[in-house]
Amino acid sequence: MANATLVTQKVQEIHLSNKLEKSGQIQLDSSFSLNVSFSSDGSRCVGKLQQTLRDKEFVGGKFTMTVELVGIFNCSNATTDEVKRQVHGEVYDQLFPYMQSQCASLAAASGVPGLMLRKVPIDPNNIAINKKGGPDNDRNPDGGPKLTLLE
């Protein structure tokens, strides 16, 4: 059952640095973070998806791209932690195609064509719900990015 419906999305911030000296293949390290903030009545939420790509081969980063995408969603009864976790996954699923498009276009425009992001499956059990004033840790125990719901 869908609990989140995308109303609008926009690119909020872009950082791009391409100092590669020649064409060819490049190995990229990819990471993302997703934060979702809910209205007090659970009827709306804002999702902020940030994707970062860095070259693996060059110290100092000859290629770095960070894109921050924000979406506004209508929600159905997002008042319990269980529903909020489900909405979190839906927000990612709906924002990801826009992020893929933006990153591919920016990479191609900077001379790195054919970029495809890998969509990561979201496990609701790995989503931490931070209450206001709670600890802010952006990494899971395995070192991967922690998906965080903000209230």
Count of beta carbons in the 10 Å neighbourhood of residue 96: 19
Q: What percent of the chain is modeled with pLDDT above 70?
A: 82
Q: How many distinct structural domains can be found in the chain?
A: 1
1-47 per-position pLDDT tens digit: 568 999 999 999 999 998 888 777 788 888 999 999 999 888 999 99
What pTM was estimated for this model as a whole? 0.81
CATH of the domain at 85: 3.10.420.10
Task: Tell me how far apart the alpha carbons of residues 106 and 147 are, in angstroms, rounded to a whole number.
Answer: 25
Domain that holds residue 47: 4-150
Sheet with 147-150: list strands edge to edge: 4-18, 63-75, 44-55, 28-38, 147-150, 127-130
pLDDT at 62: 86
DSSP state at residue 76: S
